[in-house]
Chain A
Amino acid sequence: MKNVIKIINGMVKDGLIDDYAVGGGIAAMFYIEPFLTYDIDIFVLVKQGKKGKVFLLTPLYDYLKSKGYSWKGEHIVVENIPVQFIPADELEAEAVRNAKKILFKGIATKIVKQEYLIAILLRAGRKKDMEKIDKMFEEGKVNREKIAEILSRYGLSDKIKKLGLL
């Protein structure tokens, strides 16, 4: 995983992506107990194409391909780890900009903060997402005011109320 982070940091340095943060299950695992997962989701801020809101991931994939990494389904396998690059939408972009800076084995990286992660998972709304949210409320230290504020801005307040968590 350390090498994956190095590669992604290199992509920022080389100007392929503006910024990134680890999201999905691996980000959830930062806050809750370990659970089985096989991939890493990376939310990326990429430069928009000239024709408006066209996100260009091709240079990113070409870059990785040139380094010898290959596709496996919807993932690109980097250093033996399936990685999915997700162009960030408005909520995810805010999450990336406000992500927690950490060191993983001495390498700097960013992890989506718990409050944003809850909003992102809540919006996705799958059963496994709900389980992670439950666990974050049970095991993590969540900032309820911050969550309420984010959810309100993104029209997700009703969803969390239905779960009885806020």
Chain B
Amino acid sequence: MKNKEKKTVFSKGLDMETLRKMLFRDKERFHKSQAKLPFEEKITLLVELQKIASEIRPSENRIVWKV
């Protein structure tokens, strides 16, 4: 059971190069998984991004969609 535990970036004993490789690999996987989301879900996320952006920098020219 112990052998089956997935190594994560939080595991102890990783050298910096391995740790960096794992971080960037996970980051790439995350982006690819986001790309595979259903289109409708992506549009929902887009609206969330618009809300965040409007809170950070409000602008009359930028409309937050209602979907």
Contacts and interface: CB of A to CB of B under 8 A. Distances in A.
Interface of A: 1-2, 26, 29-38, 72-73, 77, 79-82, 102, 104-105, 135, 138-140
26 contacts: A26-B43, A29-B43, A30-B39, A30-B42, A33-B31, A33-B35, A34-B37, A34-B43, A34-B45, A34-B46, A35-B49, A36-B46, A36-B53, A38-B50, A38-B65, A72-B63, A73-B61, A79-B66, A80-B63, A80-B65, A81-B66, A82-B63, A104-B39, A104-B40, A105-B40, A135-B35
Nearest to A105: B40
10 smallest A-B Cβ distances: which pairs?
A33-B34, A139-B35, A34-B45, A34-B42, A33-B35, A36-B49, A80-B66, A1-B67, A32-B35, A34-B46
Nearest to B44: A34
B43 A1 contact: yes
Q: Using C-beta atoms within 8 Å of the partner chain, give the interface range for chain B.
A: 20 to 34
B25 interface: no
A140 B53 contact: no
Contacts of B62: 38
Given A32-B35, A102-B39, 15 more contacts: A1-B43, A1-B65, A2-B67, A29-B42, A33-B37, A34-B43, A36-B50, A36-B53, A77-B63, A79-B66, A80-B63, A80-B66, A105-B40, A135-B35, A138-B31
Nearest to B52: A36
Contacts of A73: 61
Contacts of A77: 63
Interface in B25-39: 31-32, 34-35, 37, 39
